[in-house]
Chain A
Amino acid sequence: GDSVTQMEGPVTLSEEAFLTINCTYTATGYPSLFWYVQYPGEGLQLLLKATKADDKGSNKGFEATYRKETTSFHLEKGSVQVSDSAVYFCALRGSWGKLQFGAGTQVVVTP
């Protein structure tokens, strides 16, 4: 079945550092890929998405490119802020519509 694997955390960074969170997937057909963010004490928010190969999703300085050849959708941000501290989830919505999440990666940004 479809599955999502993302790097384990916590990832601890200093402010203004470069952030990468790795995400790989297994799926049949043509899934859409998503990143969600969960700030402390809040619900999940959709951060960005890509619906086909080579699409780049972007929002709030975050970017991720749908790489079919490597089955990856890595999240990147060039300069993180303390306010980016959160848990980030990679997700896949398969051809049949089921929404599957990775285990989540906690990111801690220190001043």
Chain B
Amino acid sequence: EAGVTQSPTHLIKTRGQQATLRCSPISGHTSVYWYQQALGLGLQFLLWYDEGEERNRGNFPPRFSGRQFPNYSSELNVNALELEDSALYLCASSWAGNSYGAFFGQGTRLTVV
């Protein structure tokens, strides 16, 4: 069974541009989470989608947005990129219900220059 896949693996953008990151969940999973991991340590919660709806968002500015498609894949958009947006962006998917853990993709490394 395929795991969570994220694309692209690496992305280099110029300050002020827009970035689009994609995530395909494990088959059957309806929840998708997005996290930002800067400095190789802590995970900052960005967004959570379930059944096509945004359920919660973290403490990030509105230029971070996303959506979940009918096939449960998801997209994270970052507008007006800033240097401090450089980080590893991780996507995770899960079944609905709080007794299930989430499974992570390998991440997209976004570098803003």
Cα separation A43 to B53 with both chains bound (whole Å): 26
Q: Main SS of chain A's interface residues?
A: strand
Q: State whether B98 touches A45 (Cβ < 8 A).
A: no
Instruction: List the A residue with the shortest CB-CB distance to B95.
Output: A97
- Chain A residues whose C-beta falls within 8 Å of the C-beta of B42 in the assembled complex: 101, 103-104
Q: State whether A104 touches B103 (Cβ < 8 A).
A: no
Give the Cβ gap from A40 to chain B, nearest Cβ, in Å. Answer: 9
* B104 at interface by CB-CB < 8 Å: yes
- Chain A residues whose C-beta falls within 8 Å of the C-beta of B90 in the assembled complex: 43-44
Give the Cβ gap from B43 to chain A, nearest Cβ, in Å. Answer: 5
Q: Number of contacting residues on A, CB 8 A?
A: 27
Chain B residues engaging chain A, CB cutoff 8 angstroms: 31, 33, 35, 40-43, 45, 48, 50, 55-56, 90, 92, 94, 96-107
18 additional A-B residue pairs with CB within 8 Å, beyond A46-B102, A97-B98, A104-B42: A32-B98, A32-B99, A32-B101, A36-B101, A43-B90, A44-B43, A44-B90, A46-B103, A89-B43, A91-B101, A93-B100, A93-B102, A95-B98, A97-B31, A100-B45, A101-B35, A101-B42, A104-B43
